[in-house]
Amino acid sequence: MNLDEKIRFPIGRFEPHFEFTDEDRKHILDQIPEIAKTLRESVQDLKDEELRTPYRRGGWTITQIVHHLADNDMNAYIRFKRALTEEEPLASSYREDLWASLQEYKDLPLEDSIQLLEILHKRFLTLLRGLQSEQFNRKLRTEVLGTISLDVAIQRLVWHGQHHVAQIKSLKSVTEIGVLNQEGIYPHCPMEIRVVEVGGVSKPQLKHKLQQCSIRMNEYGNKLFDDEKFVISPTKRRLETVELSVRNLGFSDGATTLQLFQMADTLGLQLCPVDLGPFLRIQHLDQPETCTSSPEKGNQAPSGSLTIASEPLHEDDHFPKGFYLRNIEDELWLRGYIADDLHVWNPHDRIIFCRT
């Protein structure tokens, strides 16, 4: 799962279980009333501006997510009743994207949809807890999942609610919500802007240019560069990059890689193409020098380093995740680094993103 998918699916994609006991089913049903409860807790005390914030670039706002949950579960309730009273009915789909664009989603108070969800789930549970075990084997046809049993449909219902609540929580955790539009937070912060020419040469030609500029590479850097997935665009293009600190993204106490990238996305920054690293190294030869006597801590970005935020080529945590630039006693380096999703970046670490 790439970083964009991790932001879109913070609890993972839906994966149904097909072997179900009565105890398994009871455990799933007990989670239904928790959805509206955790939803209310997630949105309480949020201001209007915060509720209008998309959980990711191009995604729904918190307000849209809340109203969508009520609409989705109303549809699900009807589908369940049809499956119980008809033979494998077709669960008709609806244009949730267009529903979310209706004025109602902007005007309706969130509490109305949360209360509707609570009442709906109460009726849902009354219906489901009154069924015999064999009734959960009844089926309905869906456009997304094919023909499924009611046991699978219940799992999907619970996953769907938890999935959207997790999106809201993930946005709150990375933004601390209140940091948006504050002084010291991008774009209202000190930053270094560069325009970098990328592409238009072959891999051997780029490697030769690095050698001509006396650029040194560590083992991870070479491993990343030599990987078959490391592809250089045959067309030359110009990219605008933004160098700033983790603190300038709103994380005064540091942040994990996923939090960092999600916040950057929320603020309008983008991950860099992985081939930016060598070209930026060649074109940024005046990087300040770092003395080797500077104390370093293991598994942290070295002092004076510039880490390029990019999509990993592989999900393997033992494969280099990207490049960073460093000048050690007047020797310029293009180095690869290893870090997993739980790695915490320090507030002073310098990160490079792209912007359009």
Is 161's pLDDT higher than 90? yes
Is 3's pLDDT higher than 90? no
Mean pLDDT value across the chain:
92
Given the DSSP bridges, would you call strands 306-308 and 350-355 parallel, antiparallel or unpaired?
parallel
More confident: 7 or 274: 274
Is 278's pLDDT higher than 80? yes
Is 48's pLDDT higher than 90? no
CATH code 3.40.50.150 for 3-175:
no
User: Phi, psi (5° rounding) for residue 95?
Assistant: -80, 80
pLDDT band at 144 (very low <50, low <70, confident <90, very high): confident
Closest CA to 3 of 347, 312, 317: 312
Is 181's pLDDT higher than 80? no
186-207 mean pLDDT: 96
Q: Whole-angstrom Cα distance, residue 147 to residue 137?
A: 11
Q: Whole-angstrom Cα distance, residue 201 to residue 160?
A: 46
Token pair listed for 351: 């990160």
List, in sequence order, the alpha helices (H) in the chain. 3-8, 22-43, 48-51, 62-85, 96-99, 104-107, 110-129, 150-175, 203-212, 219-226, 257-266, 276-283
Which pLDDT score, from 0 to 100, does residue 79 have?
96
Which residues make up the CATH 1.20.120.450 domain(s) of the chain? Answer: 3-175
Cis peptide before 187 (omega within 30 of 0): yes
347 Cβ neighbours under 8 A, 6+ residues apart = 245, 246, 247, 251, 252, 253, 254
Q: Whole-angstrom Cα distance, residue 7 to residue 2?
A: 9
Residue pair 250/179 in contact by the 8 Å Cβ criterion: yes
pLDDT band at 177 (very low <50, low <70, confident <90, very high): very low
Token pair listed for 178: 């209140």
Interval 86-135: pLDDT, tens: 999 999 889 999 999 999 999 999 999 999 999 999 999 999 999 999 99
Tell me the C-alpha to C-alpha distance, in Å, between residue 206 and each of 156, 212, 228, 277.
Answer: 49, 10, 15, 11
Is 43's pLDDT higher than 90? yes
Token pair listed for 268: 């309008």
pLDDT band at 202 (very low <50, low <70, confident <90, very high): very high
Residue pair 140/88 in contact by the 8 Å Cβ criterion: yes
pTM assigned to the model: 0.71
